[in-house]
Amino acid sequence: MSETSYPKVCGSELGYAGPKVHIIVLGNDECFQRGRILHELYHILGFPHEQNRSDRDKYVVVNWKNLLPGIELNFRKFKGRYMDVGPYDYYSLMHYSLYAMANDRKVRTLTPTTKNVDESRIGQRKDFSPIDLQKINTFYKCEKKTQPSSKKMYQTTISQKLKSGMNKKMQEPIDGVISVQGNSKLFKK
């Protein structure tokens, strides 16, 4: 298999995929930005996209006619216990931008129904929002005042050969926070 046979997308599995390996696909240069990697790690923690919430129709309208073919799953509502935790978060690391997956990039795929929303912040890929952190703490029953740890939870190695984007394998959990080894220039803030 050559480097050109890997997909040109960013992606990961939703939720716990087994005791040893979680795969994150970083198929293009944009995928190496810090916020995009956090987005994929958030999926591994079990969180779908914010616009997948079962109550999302109260907050956004989906323009189904402008979606790229075959991409509808990324906009379908999840039913059941899936993450309708806390208020709807337009500024979540997990919310798509207003033009995400658009067939016509001049026409929105998502339109907020709520007034006074800063539309420029919807779809941000910089960092977790305060509500994102509350959701993680609620779902994983974390103490309200958690402190950063020097212990490692996940470790990954990014070689020069893989730098342009390929599957990145997350190794077995150790304990604590995320540690990434490799060329720090890949993680643009």
Is 60:110 a contact under the CB 8 Å cutoff? yes
For 138, list phi and psi in degrees, rounded to 5.
-65, -50
Q: Is 22 annotated as a binding residue?
A: no
- 38, with CB counted inside 10 A (0-12, 13-18, 19+), is middle
72 tagged catalytic: no
Q: Is 39 annotated as a binding residue?
A: yes
In our burial notation (b when 16+ CB lie closer than 10 A, e otherwise), range 47-58 reads bbbbbbbeebee
Q: Is 49 annotated as a binding residue?
A: yes
The pairing of strands 152-157 and 177-181 is parallel
Q: Which of 3, 40, 72, 143 is catalytic?
A: 40
Reading across the β-sheet that carries 167-170, which strands appear in turn? Answer: 10-12, 22-26, 167-170
| Residues contributing to the annotated binding site for Zn(2+) | 39, 43, 49
| Residues contributing to the annotated binding site | 39, 43, 49
User: What amino acid positions are annotated as catalytic residues?
Assistant: 40
